[in-house]
Structure 1
Amino acid sequence: MHDLEKYDVAVLGGGPAGITAAISAARSGAKTILIERYGFLGGMSTAAMVYPWMTFHAASGEQVIKGLAQEIVDRLMALGASPGHLRDTIGFTHTLTPYHPEVYKVLACDMLAEAGADILLHTSVIHVETEGERIGAIRLYGKNGIRELKAKVYVDATGDGDVAYMAGAPWEKGNDNGKLQPMTMKFRMRGVDLQAIKQYMKNNPSEFYEKSLISELDRLPLTGIMGFYSKWREARLPILRDGLLFFSGPGEDEVLINTSRVSGLDPTNSEDLTKAEIEGRKQVLELETFLQLNIPGFERASVSAVGTQIGVRETRRMIGQYVLSGQDVLSARKFADVIARSGYPIDIHNPEGKGVTANFIREGGAYDIPYRSIVPLQTANLLLAGRCISTSHEAQATTRLTPSCMAIGQAAGTAAALAAQLRCDTRDVPIDLLQKLLLAGNAELGITEAAV
């Protein structure tokens, strides 16, 4: 075993939260490294084809997530790899944001390089060494064998809270019965006639989600479709869904299918995850046949890509200094230590049956995510970023969404750099200074001047 260089900040996990955490830490002057187990960045957005990004806006139309997340969208738009924020024609959120995942993979690396952050791919964390309340070092496994890395501050952006878990930080998992939201194997199809789908929706509006913007399809691009309820019921597929859910793009004849569902398994258990991967891919082929035979516009369509891995909605939630609750979300609660905001509703896919439980934020507003929810208990030089932050089962069903994770990652990276510079525990980072840095470096993050 040999050591890597010592860093100020080590970000573990190269998904949307890890990317923004590492960029913001490096831009803040910290010597930063981003570690990722796959051979590319993007996490669920690329490995599991989570698409599109939902949502940067509150239901009122106010944009509440800006900063680095918006910078990424702007740069994708400049590259012709995103149309920007479009109305969600399902009507579930105000907007959604299509993007080209292959361009995002390259752009993320470019932005990290510009910021001066190091990247190490094909590398996994296998052990965390603790010294009292602090992480002393982490062990990594990759093509060089086992190596040790030391940093002043660590950011757990693994999604599953792997680093915090290995460090001995407390955690929770699932609902009151310990059941987790189901997993979904997402896939793309090409050769889809979106005009035929649009016409069917106009002719059969009762077949689709009640909030669908069908009356506005003559002026809006068709971005999302939830429904075909009677055709789904008639098919009697062994998939615990009420209907089809898919999104258009990024190609003109392309859609992303978000309909498979694998329930009753734990993604932090290797045997369960193996079963889920196998079952998910079987469902993809069943759905392809169903779509080709039953759904207008899919007659000549075929599967063009399947996720590298199954999409995971929920695993460990680390317990932090504050546990964000569902009531905090729905009441649009404000916090003095706000470091990010989100307007996405509570969206729980039934862990044990069909359907989705949706609860919307009061008056179409947005809720604050407090700094204390990214500071885990018992580990003094660690921060959380992404879906593993400190929330209840209900609140996690909104904080887990990609734009929320991007905003949380930006705050975590900035805070990690600040803790390294001040040589203080993460719990002692001055919140007023952190908020000012977030505002100064990325004006209109969504945090108002009043909050500072």
Structure 2
Amino acid sequence: MGNSVGVREVDVLIVGGGCSGVAALLQAVCMGARVLVVEESPWLGGMITAAGVSCIDGNEGALGGGIFGAFRAAMEQHYGGPEAVRTGWVSNTCFEPQVAAAWFRDAVAASTAECLHGARLVRVLREEQRIAGAVFEHGGAALEVRAHVTIEATEYGDVLALGEVPFRLGRESRAETGEAHAPEEADDEIQDLTMVATLRRVQGGAKPVLLPPGQDTARFHNSTAVHAKIQDPAYWNHKLHSWESFLTYALLPESGEDSTPGDLFMLNWPFHSNDYPAQGLFGTPEERASTLAAAKERTLAYVHYMQTELGHPEWGLAEDVYPTADHLPLLPYVRESRRVVPVRWLREEDVVPRDGSKRNAVQPDGVAVGDYYLDHHHDKDHRPPGERLGECFPSNAPFQIPYSAMLPREVNGLIAAEKSIGATHIVNGCSRLQPVALLIGQAAGAAAALAVRDGCEPREVDVTELQSLLLAAGAQIVPDRDCPNTLPDFAERQRALLAGG
């Protein structure tokens, strides 16, 4: 990085242009804030674009609304209706990553916000107990950005680490959180990452993918029933899927008149496939790069396995989806990141109903909603009996994200979004999904704009006004599938639910 230093001043600095980052931008700018989003990759949208996870997990039906609802409606309209995006059994909303990226790009281009791509976070500006912005490396020069509010929206929680904001990484102990299903002792177990691949079927055979040096395809033999030496799901702790079931998991729709249904596939398979240990992402830059390289090799090895041992050479890497030389996504799918120590933790008891009820207790400061189950990806949980990690969680119910879980306990000037909110390791299994991250980002953007308007800290924002602004934007703050934001009494119904009605 050269000696040249540029200085910018904005109202709201958003570090990371993923799901939360782009949603925060769109909300804050429509409230009049001067916003800058800094994103290292050339695409906005994070998980659902640059990381290739182009099948929405959760928030089915009318749940969610807001920017997430607008995005889902746009995908349905692009492909010709709700049925046209129900192409894989993993999701009711599937799409091409580049189509989603174009939607976010165009939505931001129509606003007054500015996006800076290709910039790398190198330092966080901290003035005693306050975050005042950050410094980036961009084009060989340093750029210092000062802001009234900074939003942590990176994939890794890097703002927390560089800003010395207290955070957790790994599993909390039962004594620390009081969660019934937390381990006795805290440890460094985190969810696996995945380097997703978008595959295309080519009649006559796709381009062969070579087996990377040092990779052993035997590790994949239990990913389906085809090569399972022991045909007992209990032994492997997962269902043994047929090739047909595996393939129809995540088929994607395709744009264009010449496209053939069923020729595009998202490889993000949870069983003995391309999940990879993520601990190295949170070490040195060299350790992160090494981890990502190894994760790519794992994915390429699985594609090679599909082409050879599974006998499907017609499937290969789609070469026209990502602007990358290796045709893999720009980012890994990071399921669990550093999580801020918040004003109030979001714990197991907040998402798992008590006494057999199907509804969770209402969070008075709820600002976003989700409905996904406590889904944790650990390759260690699909080993033979006696060798497993052993995570097993109860059924949860639709839940809220409280604003107090987005605020650092001790540090001002910062709002945590994306997967860095103050959710425990257990709750991260349901709070990490794409719709929830979009809605968290929208709430973060609204809160930041209010703090700018009133000249106050994010923790001093009037939560009732924040909730009213989100309702006005069509975003749910209490889960309710019976009253979508298209109905005239949407806001009134939401307020009644918030009050316990």
1:67/1:445 contact within 8 Å kept:
no
1:52 to 51, 55, 61: 55
Structure 1 distance, partners of 2:27, 2:333, is: 26
Matched, 1:22 2:25: yes
1:63/1:446 contact within 8 Å kept:
no
Which residue is equivalent to 2:228?
A: 233
Pairwise CA distance, 1:114: 2.2
Counterpart AA for 2:192: P
Post-superposition Cα deviations, 1:137-179, rounded to whole Å, max 9, x if no partner, equal 3211101500111111111101222113222211111123211
Shift in alpha-carbon separation, 1:443–1:178, aligned structure 2, 3 A: closer
Shift in alpha-carbon separation, 1:352–1:380, aligned structure 2, 3 A: same
Matched, 1:273 2:288: yes
Structure 2 distance, partners of 1:301, 1:28, is: 46
The normalised TM-score by structure 1 is 0.82
SS in structure 2 opposite 1:150? strand
2:156/2:334 contact within 8 Å kept:
no
Pairwise CA distance, 1:278: 2.8
What's the RMSD between the two structures over aligned residues? 2.8
Structure 2 distance, partners of 1:113, 1:241, is: 46
Structure 2 stretches lacking a partner, 5+ long: 172-185, 204-221, 255-260, 319-326, 354-359, 384-389, 480-493
Shift in alpha-carbon separation, 1:277–1:165, aligned structure 2, 3 A: closer
- Greater alpha carbon shift after TM alignment, 433-442 vs 276-285: 276-285
Shift in alpha-carbon separation, 1:40–1:8, aligned structure 2, 3 A: same
Which residue is equivalent to 1:437?
A: 469
1:81/1:99 contact within 8 Å kept:
no
1:347 to 353, 365, 375: 375
Which residue is equivalent to 1:416?
A: 448
- Greater alpha carbon shift after TM alignment, 72-81 vs 115-124: 72-81
Which residue is equivalent to 2:194?
A: 184
1:10 to 13, 17, 38: 13
Post-superposition Cα deviations, 1:12-69, rounded to whole Å, max 9, x if no partner, equal 1000110000100001111111110112212222222123111122xxxx53211111
After superposition, where does 1:214-293 map in structure 2 within 5 Å?
Answer: 229-234=224-229, 246-251=249-254, 252=261, 253-258=263-268, 259-263=273-277, 265-269=279-283, 270-293=285-308
- Greater alpha carbon shift after TM alignment, 382-391 vs 47-56: 47-56
Structure 2 distance, partners of 1:14, 1:163, is: 13
Structure 2 distance, partners of 1:145, 1:81, is: 45
Structure 2 distance, partners of 1:30, 1:250, is: 37
Post-superposition Cα deviations, 1:238-280, rounded to whole Å, max 9, x if no partner, equal xx99557641113321111113122263311234433332332
1:66/1:445 contact within 8 Å kept:
no
Counterpart AA for 1:389: I
Pairwise CA distance, 1:306: 2.2
Structure 1 distance, partners of 2:372, 2:17, is: 23
More strand by share: 1
After superposition, where does 1:51-450 map in structure 2 within 5 Å?
Answer: 51-57=54-60, 63-80=62-79, 83=82, 90=89, 95-143=91-139, 145-175=141-171, 176-191=186-201, 229-234=224-229, 246-251=249-254, 252=261, 253-258=263-268, 259-263=273-277, 265-269=279-283, 270-293=285-308, 295=310, 298-304=312-318, 305-331=327-353, 332-350=360-378, 352-354=380-382, 359=393, 361-362=395-396, 365-442=397-474, 444=476, 448-450=494-496
Structure 1 distance, partners of 2:378, 2:419, is: 18
Structure 2 distance, partners of 1:313, 1:232, is: 28
SS in structure 2 opposite 1:99? coil
2:160/2:340 contact within 8 Å kept:
yes
Structure 1 distance, partners of 2:352, 2:133, is: 39
Which residue is equivalent to 2:483?
A: none
- Identity among equivalent positions (%) equals 25
Post-superposition Cα deviations, 1:165-211, rounded to whole Å, max 9, x if no partner, equal 22221111112321121121211221179xxxxxxxxxxxxxxxxxx
Post-superposition Cα deviations, 1:52-99, rounded to whole Å, max 9, x if no partner, equal 111122xxxx53211111112222333338857966965x7xx53212
Post-superposition Cα deviations, 1:291-312, rounded to whole Å, max 9, x if no partner, equal 234558x352222242233322
SS in structure 1 opposite 2:276? coil
Structure 2 distance, partners of 1:406, 1:443, is: 10
Pairwise CA distance, 1:233: 1.7
SS in structure 2 opposite 1:188? strand
The normalised TM-score by structure 2 is 0.74
Counterpart AA for 1:449: R
Aligned length: 406
Shift in alpha-carbon separation, 1:152–1:292, aligned structure 2, 3 A: same
Shift in alpha-carbon separation, 1:378–1:445, aligned structure 2, 3 A: closer
Structure 2 distance, partners of 1:44, 1:443, is: 20
Pairwise CA distance, 1:116: 1.3
SS in structure 1 opposite 2:126? strand
